[in-house]
Structure 1
Amino acid sequence: MSTSRRLPLGLCAALVASAALLAMPAAGSGTPAAALVSAVTAWPQAQRGSVQPKLADGTEYRPGIFLDAHTSVGTAETPDGRFLRLLLLGADDSVRELRRLPRQRHPSFQTFALADGDLVWVEGTGGGRPALWAAGLKRAGAARQLSADVGHVTFYQSQYDLVVAGGRVYWAAAGAADTTDIRSVALTGGPVRSQPQAGTWKLSAFPWLVDGVNQAAGATRLRDLTTGREVAVARAGRRATTACGPAWCRVAALAKDGSNRIDLMHPDGSGRERIAGDAASTIITDAAPLDRFEVLAQVGPTSELTGNNQLIVFEIATRQTVEISPDAGSVSCHDGVLWWTTGNLDGVVWHSLDLRTI
């Protein structure tokens, strides 16, 4: 996520594995860069927004999730620096505090999920056990702890690190002897249920799990958590890394001549198509947001100067590659809202695009 966080030690190995997948060279567009259409031209109806780096009280604000193009939840210290706040920032720049933790405890708000007007997150403090919390976004009221029994949670910087379905919150935790525990608790709180799964799995679009999170080749199987049914992922090649959801897989492949490419395909291998070539790279963990787009980055005209990249999106239905930003820094996508930064270490602006409005 975009929000600054300190992760418990149990999460580090998972994130290192995830970073290895993201670092693999991916692809530039099959369409020459000069032919890229701008997002404003391609999607004039799409909702866009921006967030300045400082709130009215002068504190630095970092979005952690966008509800839509104009509404976000993120973190900012109190003006006196004593607390870290979790804030709901409205389209009208209104600010509502959801939670605060003392800075001296080294707090973090690590990952988020949205469902039925509720925000769910995992919070932690330095040396303490993480806990699962929730707050209503459409009504006033104090945040509530759902559970402190989260196990050895594993996060992969995926929008599915927390999944809300059927009134329950699901997450993955490392179990014993090469086992993954899929844990869940009711949105109202209560006892935690655990469903052990042999192997290493992460959550995908509910009720699916995907394996291969610690493997160089990536995903090989999908499993329905409710029925146990498995779907094999087609082999993409010896020099390929595959990231999958139930509808689409993204394949980052290295050709014999040393060039790179990115393909999309269905898990059974059908519909495989090259969407980008040697100039670009993967930039988010999850494949094909909304089952309609693929988000990529490639070296842009200002990359050497700024260290940022050109942010592009491949639209599956139209097969067109669209430039979102010529100079994007940090990039995230959750529930169909894409956001990124422009600027540098001296100051950034957050920009958002609601892909659901296209």
Structure 2
Amino acid sequence: MIHRIALVVAALAAAVLVVAPGPVRAPARLALVSAWPGARISTSPGNLPDGTAFAPLSPDLRAGESAGRLVIDGEVLREGPAQYAMAATALVWLEAGTGLFKMADSVAELITADIGNVVVLESQYDVVVHGESVSWAAVGPEGTTEIRTVALAGGAVEKVVLSGKFALTEWPFATSAEVEQGGPSTLIDVRSTARTVVNGQSYELIDCTPSWCRVQVLRQGGSARLDLMRPDGTERRRIGGSDVRPAVPDVLLLDRFAVVVDDARGALCLYDVDRDQLADLASSFGTVVARGNAVWWSTGDNTSLTWHTIDLGEL
């Protein structure tokens, strides 16, 4: 998803000649412990006993992929190549082309095979558990999106059909999923199908949750800056300039933290909306993932891999 965003920015920016005025002040850059004195980064091995690399999918690092297998608590739960999309708050996951599963008594229990052509954006909202139900988005016919919902206990799958390309965000909302298209974005309340249009210019790529929107402002030759704003356009602020880009698909974690990369310094950073401050997480990193209350990133290679994680709930 990160590479997809970068390519889209480059393609759109070629046609952009000017950038409208915007927030001019970027937050001060701090060391992690200066920004949050209680911050703690923990590490865990990234290789299983058989030597294969392990890529976590859940915030507690219990579940992950390894050589095409789904591994939970060190045990291989599912064999064979698949694309796994794990919920952020429970061990519930989608296997594209197969079904929706949950962990039950140390085994994978099928909730439903009626999953459709699922939308997977490597977001924490690809699969959303809410109450006793779970929802996901699937590609519908003739340019529509289906928001599918089923009880965790199983049963019939309910469908809400939306006109256009959408993906789930914070429940019960869906958001525009056409990341290649600059201009306005849309939020939809899945329960009522009420739409909220988020205004944007043709040279702005806008991704939204019900609370905040991330705005990549383009210019000729690349990105000009990265902003945040409310869906109604208020409280707009700059995270960084042309050297700062999103590190993960989701706008914020815990409705507060944005995970970004400072390409000029090769640093992985964390921006705090509440405090308007930017701090470094790592000066060296490989894969970056963010789900629920956690951010984790890798160092090393597949033969000697280490995962580093921070619990944002402790900050």
Task: Give the direction of change, closer, same or farther, for the CA distance of 1:19–1:202 in structure 2 (3 Å limit).
Answer: farther
CA contact 2:47–2:302 (8 Å) conserved in 1: no
Task: Give the direction of change, closer, same or farther, for the CA distance of 1:212–1:109 in structure 2 (3 Å limit).
Answer: closer
In the comparison of the two structures, how many residue pairs are matched?
301
* 1:42-191 mapped onto 2 (5 Å cutoff): 42-67=35-60, 71-76=61-66, 84-88=69-73, 95=74, 97=75, 99-101=77-79, 106-115=80-89, 118-124=90-96, 129-136=97-104, 140-191=105-156
Task: Give the direction of change, closer, same or farther, for the CA distance of 1:30–1:343 in structure 2 (3 Å limit).
Answer: farther
Task: Give the direction of change, closer, same or farther, for the CA distance of 1:256–1:108 in structure 2 (3 Å limit).
Answer: closer
Partner of 1:4: none
Paired with 1:261 and 1:58, the residues of 2 have a C-alpha distance of 41
1:42-100 CA distance string (max 9 Å, x none): 22323432121223454432212222xxx4311346xxxxx934222xxxxxx3x3613
AA aligned to 1:178 is G
Task: Give the direction of change, closer, same or farther, for the CA distance of 1:348–1:30 in structure 2 (3 Å limit).
Answer: farther
Partner of 1:334: 291
3-state SS of 1:60 partner: coil
AA aligned to 1:333 is A
Paired with 1:146 and 1:163, the residues of 2 have a C-alpha distance of 14
Paired with 1:231 and 1:276, the residues of 2 have a C-alpha distance of 27
1:89-132 CA distance string (max 9 Å, x none): xxxxxx3x36132xxxx4225110144xx4111225xxxx3211
Partner of 1:249: 213
RMSD: 2.5
AA aligned to 1:338 is V
AA aligned to 2:132 is G
Paired with 1:160 and 1:166, the residues of 2 have a C-alpha distance of 15
Partner of 2:34: 41
Which one of the candidate residues 259, 267, 271 is aligned to 1:314?
271
Shift of 1:300: 5.2
Paired with 2:147 and 2:133, the residues of 1 have a C-alpha distance of 12
* 1:181-220 mapped onto 2 (5 Å cutoff): 181-217=146-182, 220=185
AA aligned to 1:339 is W
TM-score if structure 2 supplies the norm length?
0.86
Task: Give the direction of change, closer, same or farther, for the CA distance of 1:344–1:218 in structure 2 (3 Å limit).
Answer: farther
Paired with 1:292 and 1:135, the residues of 2 have a C-alpha distance of 29
> Unaligned stretches of 5+ in structure 2?
14-24
User: Are residues 1:239 and 2:198 paired?
Assistant: no
3-state SS of 1:328 partner: coil
AA aligned to 1:111 is A
CA contact 1:210–1:219 (8 Å) conserved in 2: no
AA aligned to 1:63 is P
AA aligned to 2:71 is L
User: Are residues 1:292 and 2:256 paired?
Assistant: yes
> Unaligned stretches of 5+ in structure 1?
1-14, 78-82, 89-94, 302-308
User: Are residues 1:275 and 2:239 paired?
Assistant: yes
Task: Give the direction of change, closer, same or farther, for the CA distance of 1:353–1:258 in structure 2 (3 Å limit).
Answer: closer
CA contact 1:153–1:174 (8 Å) conserved in 2: yes
Paired with 1:59 and 1:263, the residues of 2 have a C-alpha distance of 39
1:120-157 CA distance string (max 9 Å, x none): 11225xxxx32111014xxx442200111111111111
Identity of aligned residues (%): 31
Shift of 1:282: 1.6
Shift of 1:221: 1.1
Shift of 1:348: 2.9
CA contact 1:153–1:173 (8 Å) conserved in 2: yes
AA aligned to 1:100 is R
CA contact 1:300–1:327 (8 Å) conserved in 2: no
Paired with 2:240 and 2:204, the residues of 1 have a C-alpha distance of 14
CA contact 1:76–1:87 (8 Å) conserved in 2: no
1:147-190 CA distance string (max 9 Å, x none): 11111111111110111112111111111111111111111111
AA aligned to 1:72 is R
AA aligned to 2:95 is E
Deviates more, 1:244-253 or 1:256-265: 256-265
CA contact 2:168–2:174 (8 Å) conserved in 1: yes
CA contact 1:86–1:98 (8 Å) conserved in 2: yes
Task: Give the direction of change, closer, same or farther, for the CA distance of 1:195–1:98 in structure 2 (3 Å limit).
Answer: farther
